[in-house]
């Protein structure tokens, strides 16, 4: 009988070539990178500065270790945004990693190397990961503009509240002068007043001067918001004019939905994923023999609010499909709140289809006005026939809003209408 000698195992076996994954714990000033092999064994780790030079060093570090197939980055929308763009530009596959929950941190401890190692393990297990937004196109510009608009709108509301509060406590002569004015008329009137420029000690004069300055501040903020919205509309028409053709979707709502999806909306593989992103996908809450779902409180709340505004506008303008849906669901004993939640999910599916299939050209009704005028049909008559507001049809005719469905209905109606007889 011959004996066989087996070589003893190495204390530190070499990592296999290829199949490496990396995790990055991101911070304001530094990023910590950990690299694992295909079975989760540590290969290397290091800390780098969070700037352009540090990003280049990270890319070099990753390539020196071997074939890194995926890099998990925490906070791709904040501290990891710059690194994610640099890694994508270098041809590396980047995935977003969710932060470790508090229970796990209390049990295992917390440090930058541990967090980076956990991010790499998460990438290896393919759990709690997602494709991040690319953040390198026109949608990123929309995100910046929307942030500016929100702060300006918040400041404008604070100014208006301060004006009303000051009018309540002002001397009677000041209150009497502006008692009948409200809203924009009040602001315009206050901005045109002449309370004087001297350093008076009279409360009436000081109140009038303060009200004038607040009104001017309100008008300045409103002008800033108008400029931002014009820029947003131009970007939306460039990126995805199809969204503007949906009923109840304006320029701010469309920009909000585009920002929620990102410059690469194809990262959302299904309608359900977009619904979960917008917080309109019910969450299972079943237990034992009881099967139920509960309302989602997560997701992008700005996108959720945008879908809610669409529902409200369609209800306000008596959209035929919306009204028919309400009637049918009420017959099933659903409350209006539950019906609105269901509508938000349906609208999310509609928005998702528009996000993935943007029109290359805005299908406005360029020839509709010419044809209507040639037949001799007033726009008010055509709007009444279609059952739509006059302004909606007017925006379609002048090309400021795309609405292929309305355009098709209008062309069909023009073939059936006859011009009114002359008196």
Average pLDDT over residues 63-67: 90
Which pLDDT score, from 0 to 100, does residue 399 have? 65
pLDDT tens-digit readout, 215-256: 999 999 999 999 999 999 999 988 998 888 888 899 999 999
Q: What is the structure's pLDDT at 4?
A: 40
Residue range 180-201: mean pLDDT, rounded = 86
The mean predicted confidence, pLDDT, of the chain is 86
pLDDT at residue number 402 = 63
| Between residues 423 and 330, the one the model is more confident about | 330
| Higher-pLDDT residue of 156, 401 | 156
In whole angstroms, give the CA distance from residue 79 to residue 88: 16
| Strand locations in 62-139 (E) | 68-74, 94-97, 129-130
pLDDT at residue 273 tops 70: yes
Cα(405)–Cα(153) distance, rounded to whole angstroms? 33
Give CB contacts under 8 A, 24+ apart, made by 303-306: 303/256, 303/257, 303/260, 303/277, 303/278, 303/279, 304/278, 304/279, 304/280, 304/344, 305/256, 306/253, 306/256, 306/257, 306/260
pLDDT score for 421:
65
pLDDT over 80 (residue 101): no
Q: What percent of the chain is predicted at pLDDT more than 70? A: 91
pLDDT-above-90 percentage for the chain: 50
| Average pLDDT for 14-34 | 82
pLDDT digits (tens, 9 = 90+) for 275-319: 999 999 988 888 887 888 888 888 899 999 999 999 999 999 888
Higher pLDDT, 15 or 169: 169
DSSP label at residue 126: T
pLDDT at 362 over 60: no
Q: For the purposes of burial, counting CB atoms within 10 Å of the CB of 210, is it exposed (0-12), middle (13-18) or buried (19 or more)?
A: middle
Long-range CB pairs of 218-226 (<8 Å, 24+ gap) are 218/156, 218/159, 218/160, 218/163, 218/187, 218/191, 219/187, 219/188, 219/191, 221/152, 221/153, 221/155, 221/156, 221/159, 222/156, 224/152, 225/149, 225/152, 225/153, 225/156
Look at residue 10 in the predicted model and tell me its pLDDT. 41
What are the start-end ranges of the E strands in 8-150?
A: 20-26, 30-36, 42-49, 68-74, 94-97, 129-130
Query: What per-residue confidence (pLDDT) applies to 29?
Result: 94
In this prediction, residue 355 carries a pLDDT of 92
pLDDT tier at 389, thresholds 50, 70, 90 = confident
pLDDT higher at 273 or 9: 273
Asked if residue 15 has pLDDT above 60, the reply is no
């Amino acid at each position: 009988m011959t004996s066989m000698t087996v070589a003893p195992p190495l204390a530190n076996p070499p990592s296999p070539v290829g199949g490496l994954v990396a995790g990055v714990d991101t911070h304001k000033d530094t990023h910590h990178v950990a690299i694992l092999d295909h079975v989760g064994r540590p290969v290397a780790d290091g800390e780098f500065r969070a700037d352009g030079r540090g990003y280049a060093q990270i890319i070099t570090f990753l390539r020196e270790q071997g074939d890194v197939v995926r890099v998990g980055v925490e906070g791709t929308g904040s501290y990891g945004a710059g690194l994610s763009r640099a890694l994508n530009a270098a041809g590396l596959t980047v995935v977003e990693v969710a932060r470790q929950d508090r229970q796990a941190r209390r049990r295992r401890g917390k440090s930058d190397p541990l967090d980076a190692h956990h991010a790499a393990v998460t990438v290896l297990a393919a759990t709690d990961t997602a494709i991040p937004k690319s953040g390198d196109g026109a949608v990123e510009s929309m995100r910046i503009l929307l942030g500016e608009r929100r702060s300006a709108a918040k400041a404008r509301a604070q100014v208006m509240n301060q004006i009303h509060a000051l009018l309540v406590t002002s001397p009677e002569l000041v209150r009497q002068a502006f008692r009948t004015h409200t809203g924009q008329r009040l602001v315009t009137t206050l901005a045109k007043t002449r309370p004087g420029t001297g350093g008076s000690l009279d409360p009436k004069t000081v109140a009038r001067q303060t009200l004038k300055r607040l009104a001017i501040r309100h008008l300045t903020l409103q002008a800033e918001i108008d400029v931002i919205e014009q820029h947003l509309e131009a970007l939306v028409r460039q990126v995805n004019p199809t969204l503007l053709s949906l009923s109840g979707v304006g320029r701010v709502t469309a920009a909000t939905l585009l920002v929620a999806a990102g410059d690469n909306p194809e990262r959302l593989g299904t309608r359900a994923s977009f619904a979960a992103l917008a917080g309109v996908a019910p969450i299972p809450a079943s237990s034992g023999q009881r099967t139920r779902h509960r309302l989602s409180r997560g997701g992008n709340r700005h996108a959720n609010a945008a879908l809610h505004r669409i529902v409200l506008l369609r209800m306000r303008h008596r959209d035929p499909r919306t009204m028919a849906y309400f009637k049918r669901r009420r017959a099933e004993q659903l409350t209006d709140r539950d019906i609105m939640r269901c509508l938000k999910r349906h609208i999310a599916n509609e928005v998702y289809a528009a996000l993935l299939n943007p029109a290359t050209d805005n299908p406005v009704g360029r020839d509709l006005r010419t044809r209507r005028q040639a037949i001799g049909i007033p726009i008010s008559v055509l709007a009444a026939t279609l059952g739509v507001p006059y302004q909606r049809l007017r925006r379609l005719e002048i090309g400021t809003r795309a609405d292929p469905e309305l355009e098709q209905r209008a062309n069909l109606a023009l073939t059936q209408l006859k011009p009114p007889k002359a008196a």
